[in-house]
Amino acid sequence: MAKLINEKTGAEIQVGDKVVSFRGEEYILLGFREPHKPSSTGRVHVKPANGEGMSREFFPSVVGAKIIEHQFES
């Protein structure tokens, strides 16, 4: 199972967390879609934090994040 992490801190980003775009716009994470092929980065689904406007999809890097595959411990 994949997870979304902050590229700078390495902290996991959960659904409902606030994320900030490189333009300084604040959003609430609604979910994300894993990459469908090796050259893909996947997508994040967000809505404006101020409640105005429609939900949007971005590349994870727009909000300073990346999708990684979860590593299971044995």
For domain 2-69, give the fold: SH3 type barrels. (2.30.30)
Question: What span, in angstroms and rounded, lies between the C-alpha atoms of 7 and 61?
Answer: 8
Q: Is 61 helix (H, G, I), strand (E, B) or coil?
A: helix
Higher per-residue pLDDT: 74 or 30: 30
Judged against a pLDDT cut of 80, whether residue 73 lies above it is answered with no
pTM of the model: 0.86
Among 23, 22, 16, residue whose Cα is nearest residue 49: 16
Higher per-residue pLDDT: 74 or 67: 67
Judged against a pLDDT cut of 80, whether residue 12 lies above it is answered with yes
Residue 27: band (very low, low, confident or very high) from pLDDT cuts 50, 70, 90: very high
Dihedrals phi, psi of 29, to nearest 5 degrees: -75, 125
Tell me the per-residue pLDDT of 42-59, one tens digit each, with 9 for 90 and over. 999 999 999 999 999 999
